[in-house]
């Protein structure tokens, strides 16, 4: 009996001295596919990038690796238009995805429990992101949702108040760092401040500076050919431009396109006859970040002195504001 006890204690001691398992293991299953490939994609600045590939065998696949902290990734089969999203953390995760990308379930992952629970709710009108942060102040998933979807929805004071509720434990989290950077940029482009100077190539590749338009009312119009809401708003901007172009007003289009031919075609198709600028770097362009732009369409109205008069005025609000300030 004593020998059994000693043996048990020895085993327990050995187990306690062993290092905890390092890295993550994604034990995956794809419904609707028995073979092919699955791609693991890292997330950065609204974009996904391939980082690993796994073979699908009899509907199963596996990824192994290590992350410094829980981070958002995507999984995609060859048939998906857009990856399904999950947080990868250093644990053994059981993941089940559908081949069409419509569903994903993740087990054995505390971060993903929060992420999945709110993945659809965050898009509902009136969703209370402040309550989510209050409930889970140390969750990377909650911090991600604030950074990704609410930096362009919340007024700056509300955004800062909610940010203050995030735990200091997440100081190194990239989504918190990006959030802090966005808040700083938004503070630099408040109404009443001078708009930051920049220069970008026009459609002919010639560098054009914001200061070139000093002395005019200028609407900085952030858009892209691939953005349906932008294309729907374009006729409204055209109407405003035609009405006020002879009254010391112009529009400067700043595109987040990455394909020049599609950019130029959209300009022609939508009859956008003002100055157009783009470095064709998509969301990696520095100018949208400089102005705290997180979603498009977005715009900034400047006075002749370069001071910001208004931001994100669309539809009839754009015409009302122009009528108010341009006499």
pLDDT of 177-222, one tens digit each? 999 999 999 999 999 999 999 999 999 999 999 999 999 999 999 9
Does residue 237 fall inside a structural domain?
yes
Side-chain-side CA neighbours of 190 within 13 Å: the count stands at 8
Residue-wise pLDDT for 109-132, tens only, equals: 999 999 999 999 999 999 999 999
Residue 8, in any domain of the structure:
no
Say how far apart CA 72 and CA 125 lie, in whole Å: 24
The residue from 108, 143, 177 where one domain ends is 108
Q: Which of 52, 26, 25, 58 is nearest to 39 (CA)?
A: 52
Same-domain pairing of 44 and 130: no
Per-residue pLDDT, averaged over 48-69, amounts to 96
**Looking at the domain assignment, is residue 15 inside a domain?**
no
User: What's the Cα-to-Cα distance from 91 to each of 85, 116, 117, 311, rounded to whole Å?
Assistant: 17, 17, 19, 44
Establish if 203 belongs to a structural domain. yes
103 within 8 A of 32, measured Cβ to Cβ: no
Among 65, 83, 108, the domain-final residue is 108
Do 88 and 143 share a structural domain?
A: no
Query: How many other C-beta atoms lie within 10 A of the C-beta of residue 48?
Result: 19
Domain identity same for 104 and 123: no
**Does one domain contain both 265 and 238?**
yes
- What range does the domain containing 236 cover? 199-325
Rounded CA Rg of the chain: 25
Give me the pLDDT at residue 22, please: 83
Tell me if 212 is assigned to some domain: yes
What total number of domains does the chain contain? 3
Q: What's 28's domain CATH number? A: 2.60.40.1120
| Chosen domain end from 108, 141, 163 | 108
Residue 1 lies in a domain: no
Predicted confidence band of residue 23 (pLDDT cuts 50, 70, 90): very high
Q: Same domain for 214 and 318?
A: yes
pTM: 0.81
Average pLDDT, the chain: 92
Token pair of 202, please?
């026009």
Q: Are residues 272 and 294 in the same domain?
A: yes
H or E stretch covering 223: strand 217-223
Same domain assignment for residues 203 and 235: yes
Which residues are CB-contacts of 59 (< 8 A; sequence separation ≥ 6)?
29, 30, 31, 33, 34
Contact between residue 281 and residue 45 where contact means Cβ atoms under 8 Å apart: no
Task: Identify whether residues 226 and 305 lie together within a single domain.
Answer: yes
User: By C-alpha distance, which of 165, 110, 120 is closest to 143?
Assistant: 165
**Res 153: pLDDT:** 86
């Amino acid at each position: 009996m004593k020998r059994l006890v000693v043996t048990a204690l020895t085993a327990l001691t050995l187990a306690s001295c062993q290092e905890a398992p390092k890295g993550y293991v994604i034990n995956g299953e794809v419904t609707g596919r028995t073979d092919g490939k699955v791609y693991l994609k890292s997330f950065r600045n609204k974009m996904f990038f391939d980082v690993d590939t796994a073979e699908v065998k009899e509907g199963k696949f596996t990824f192994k690796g290590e992350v410094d902290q829980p981070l958002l990734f995507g999984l995609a089969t060859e048939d998906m238009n857009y990856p399904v999203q999950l947080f990868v953390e250093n644990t053994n995760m059981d993941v089940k995805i559908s081949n069409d990308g419509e569903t994903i379930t993740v087990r054995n992952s505390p971060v993903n429990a929060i992420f999945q629970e709110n993945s659809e709710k965050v898009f509902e009108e009136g969703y209370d992101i402040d309550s989510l942060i209050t409930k889970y102040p140390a969750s990377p998933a909650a911090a991600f949702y604030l950074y990704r979807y609410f930096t362009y929805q919340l007024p700056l004071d509300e955004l800062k108040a909610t940010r203050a509720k995030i735990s200091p434990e997440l100081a190194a989290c990239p989504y918190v760092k990006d959030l802090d950077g966005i808040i700083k940029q938004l503070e630099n482009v408040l109404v009443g401040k001078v708009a930051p100077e920049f220069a970008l190539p026009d459609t002919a590749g010639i560098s054009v500076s914001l200061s070139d338009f000093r002395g005019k009312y200028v609407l900085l119009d952030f858009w892209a050919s691939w953005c349906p809401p932008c294309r729907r708003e374009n006729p409204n901007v055209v109407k405003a431009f035609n009405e006020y172009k002879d009254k010391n007003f112009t529009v400067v289009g700043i595109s987040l396109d990455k394909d020049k031919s599609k950019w130029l075609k959209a300009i022609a198709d939508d009859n956008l006859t003002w100055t157009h600028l783009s470095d064709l770097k998509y969301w990696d362009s520095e100018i949208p970040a400089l102005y705290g732009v997180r979603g498009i369409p977005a715009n900034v109205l400047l006075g002749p002195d370069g001071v910001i008069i208004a931001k994100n005025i669309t539809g009839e609000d754009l015409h009302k504001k122009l009528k108010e300030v341009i006499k």
